[in-house]
């Protein structure tokens, strides 16, 4: 039991470090933009490069984790992560920064499926949901703390955050070599892997399709908001990296706490579909308000509350999908991840192009996309009722 706790702790730490590295770049983007003389469009592609690499490599990395083992994929992923962060820390040319972000995406593709499979191997059906909850918390905490650490360390030098993350990744890789052992695999997990093959065709099933579209829309809105927040407040309000770190980290923490306190209660009152609709509405209004606020306090307030909308949406749609998925939980989880990755690619790219035209345009566009999501939830309600009626009718017959 003690050994398993050490193993789980190390696995969660590895995930935390990997996702910490993603958020580090946010507070220093304006400084990099000025140092290298690059445009918003280039920043958008630089941000998206990570998600593109992760999306492309993930299926191959997942198969490799089954073929060659969980431990070796985790260790290689952590070493690649360390190298990518060191390269970003010393890179003086934009090509080097792109190469670094691509390596970062590859490292996440190596680490994520291997850790997920490792956890599935060492848990059973009773303990797995709790541990997967810890896994989600480790990822979220990495995202939340990343910008804060990045903004704090950037006070000592723009590239210090990346050298720090590179050292963390390398230490984690060495600890994983020493402390992790290859887990025993169960037949149950092998069956789950085989069931997810050729599952893409099921995406267009009516009970899933609208939920997946909404995942893309909400993730797109969040990606467009967060990717260009630092550039937006730098250009409009001359925020320093430490200011950006305080606002982003504070907002993320406020959103996470609100999720813990409100999600269960609001789900019981409204149900998942209504909660999704109201979360999108709150997010759309506040993303638009970012273009009209002027004071530091109002920016802080809007940013804190916008994270509440996004943080309530994610568990609501995940809960809905989990409830209807039955024995297709693996398929639903994979598609959830895929549509999130697609949004993390397209959001920053389109946002960067629009940012170069007008700094408000990325937020206008994100507002329109989120409003489209609200309309879809109205259609979704009718479909859900129709499905319910069909079930009732079949029972009656």
Give pLDDT tens digits along the chain (397 positions): 557 788 888 998 888 888 887 778 778 888 888 888 888 889 889 888 988 898 888 878 878 888 888 899 999 999 999 999 999 999 888 999 999 999 998 998 888 888 877 887 887 767 776 777 677 777 777 777 787 888 888 888 888 989 999 999 999 999 999 988 888 765 544 444 444 444 556 666 667 778 888 888 888 888 888 778 888 888 888 888 888 888 888 887 888 788 778 888 888 888 888 888 999 999 999 999 999 988 888 888 888 888 888 888 877 887 787 777 666 665 676 677 778 788 888 888 898 899 899 999 999 999 999 999 999 888 875 444 444 443 333 333 3
The count of other CB atoms within 10 Å of the CB of residue 345 is 23
Q: Is residue 341 part of a domain?
A: yes
> CATH code at 59?
1.20.1250.20
Residues 6+ apart with CB under 8 A from 156: none
Q: Are residues 298 and 285 in the same domain?
A: yes
- Answer for the pair 104, 22: CB distance below 8 angstroms, yes or no: yes
Q: How many domains, the chain?
A: 2
Q: Are residues 150 and 281 in the same domain?
A: no
pTM: 0.75
Q: Are residues 189 and 220 in the same domain?
A: no
Please report how the helices 128-153 and 241-270 are oriented relative to each other, as an axis angle in degrees rounded to 10. 150
Residue 199 has a pLDDT of 52
**Residue numbers of the domain that contains 1:** 1-195
Q: Is residue 30 part of a domain?
A: yes
Q: Are residues 148 and 258 in the same domain?
A: no
Q: Is residue 393 part of a domain?
A: no
Q: Is residue 394 part of a domain?
A: no
Residue 22 has a pLDDT of 74
Q: Are residues 145 and 176 in the same domain?
A: yes
Rounded distance, CA 390 to CA 279, Å? 28
Residue where a domain terminates, one of 128, 163, 195? 195
Q: Is residue 48 part of a domain?
A: yes
Rounded distance, CA 110 to CA 215, Å? 23
Q: Are residues 215 and 154 in the same domain?
A: no
Q: Are residues 80 and 202 in the same domain?
A: no
Q: Are residues 90 and 232 in the same domain?
A: no
Q: Are residues 150 and 250 in the same domain?
A: no
Q: Is residue 395 part of a domain?
A: no
Residue 185 has a pLDDT of 66
Q: Is residue 103 part of a domain?
A: yes
Rounded distance, CA 47 to CA 102, Å? 10
Q: Are residues 43 and 72 in the same domain?
A: yes
Q: Are residues 183 and 312 in the same domain?
A: no
How far CA 55 is from CA of 87, 102, 109, in Å, comes to 21, 11, 7
Q: Are residues 208 and 159 in the same domain?
A: no
Residue 333 has a pLDDT of 64
């Amino acid at each position: 039991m003690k050994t398993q706790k050490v193993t789980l702790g190390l696995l969660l730490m590895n995930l935390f470090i990997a996702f910490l590295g993603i958020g580090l770049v946010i507070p220093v983007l304006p400084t990099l933009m000025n140092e290298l003389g690059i445009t918003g469009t280039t920043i958008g592609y630089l941000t998206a490069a990570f998600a593109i690499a992760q999306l492309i490599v993930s299926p191959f990395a997942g198969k490799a984790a089954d073929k060659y083992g969980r431990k070796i994929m985790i260790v290689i992923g952590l070493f690649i992560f360390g190298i990518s962060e060191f390269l970003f820390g010393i890179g003086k040319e934009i090509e080097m920064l792109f190469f670094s972000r691509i390596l970062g995406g590859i490292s996440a593709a190596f680490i994520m499926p291997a850790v997920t499979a490792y956890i599935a191997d060492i848990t059973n059906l009773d303990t797995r949901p709790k541990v997967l909850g810890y896994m989600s918390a480790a990822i979220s905490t990495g995202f939340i703390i990343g910008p804060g650490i990045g903004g704090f360390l950037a006070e000592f030098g723009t590239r210090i955050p990346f050298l720090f993350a590179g050292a963390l990744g390398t230490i984690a890789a060495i600890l994983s070599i020493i402390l992790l052992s290859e887990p025993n695999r169960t037949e149950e997990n092998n069956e789950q892997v085989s069931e997810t093959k050729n599952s893409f065709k099921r995406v267009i099933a009516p009970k899933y399709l609208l939920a997946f579209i909404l995942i893309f829309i909400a993730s797109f809105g969040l990606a467009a908001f967060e990717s260009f927040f630092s550039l937006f407040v730098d250009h409009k309000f001359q925020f320093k990296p430490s200011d950006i770190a305080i606002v982003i980290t504070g907002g993320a923490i406020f959103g996470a706490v609100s999720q813990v306190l409100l999600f269960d209660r609001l789900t019981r009152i409204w149900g998942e579909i209504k909660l999704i609709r109201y979360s999108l509405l709150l997010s759309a209004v506040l993303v638009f308000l970012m273009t009209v606020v002027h004071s530091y306090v109002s920016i802080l307030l809007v940013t804190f509350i916008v994270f509440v909308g996004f943080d309530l949406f994610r568990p609501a749609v995940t809960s809905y999908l989990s409830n209807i998925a039955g024995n297709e939980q693996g398929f639903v989880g994979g598609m959830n991840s895929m549509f999130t990755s697609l949004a993390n690619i397209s959001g920053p790219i389109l946002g960067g192009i629009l940012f170069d035209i007008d700094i408000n345009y990325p937020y206008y566009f994100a507002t329109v996309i989120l409003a489209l999501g609200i309309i879809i939830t109205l259609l979704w309600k009718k479909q859900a009722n129709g499905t319910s009626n069909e079930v009732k009718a079949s029972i009656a017959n």
